[in-house]
Amino acid sequence: MARHKKDINIRLVAEQAGVSVATVSRVVNNRTDVSETVRRKVSEVIERFNFAPTKSVERRVNIGIVVALDGPLINDYITQILDGVAGYSDGGNLDVTVVLYRVCPEAKTLLQTIRERRCDAVVIVPAEPVADQLDDLRDAEIPTMLINSDLTGPKMGYIGNESYSGAVKAMEYLIACGHRRIGFLCNSLVNSNNHTQRLQAYKDVLARNGIAGDPAWIVPHHPTEQTADAGFDQCRSLLKHAPGVTAVFCTNDEMAMGAIKACWEAGLRVPDDISVIGFDGLPYGKYLHPALTTVRQPLTELGAGAVRYLDEFLKGQRTVLPEETLGTELVIRDSVTTVK
The reported pLDDT for the residue numbered 48 is 79
The reported pLDDT for the residue numbered 1 is 39
The reported pLDDT for the residue numbered 57 is 47
**Domains in the chain and their CATH numbers?**
5-49 (1.10.260.40), 62-161+300-327 (3.40.50.2300), 163-296 (3.40.50.2300)
The reported pLDDT for the residue numbered 55 is 46
Residue that wins the pLDDT comparison between 247 and 106: 247
The reported pLDDT for the residue numbered 38 is 80
Is the model's pLDDT at 179 over the cut of 50?
yes
The reported pLDDT for the residue numbered 109 is 92
Of 185-194, 231-240, 271-280, the least confident:
185-194
The 10s digit of each residue's pLDDT in 22-70 is 777 777 776 666 777 887 787 787 777 777 665 444 557 889 999 988 7
Average pLDDT, the chain: 89
The reported pLDDT for the residue numbered 56 is 44
pTM: 0.82
Q: What is the DSSP track for 125-189? A: ES-GGGGGGHHHHHHTT--EEEES----BTTEEEEEE-HHHHHHHHHHHHHHTT--SEEEE----
Give the contacts of 184 (CB within 8 A, at least 6 positions apart). 199, 202, 217, 218, 219, 248, 249, 251
Residues 116, 136: contact at Cβ < 8 Å? no
Q: How far is CA 290 from the centre of its chain?
A: 28
The reported pLDDT for the residue numbered 23 is 78
Q: Report the share of the chain in percent with pLDDT over 90.
A: 63
- Strands 156-161 and 144-147 turn out to be parallel
The reported pLDDT for the residue numbered 5 is 46
The 10s digit of each residue's pLDDT in 259-318 is 999 999 999 999 999 999 999 999 999 999 999 999 999 999 999 999 999 999 988 899
Mean pLDDT of 178-182: 98
Residue that wins the pLDDT comparison between 117 and 337: 337
The 10s digit of each residue's pLDDT in 134-164 is 999 988 889 999 999 887 778 899 999 999 9
Residues 68, 103: contact at Cβ < 8 Å? yes
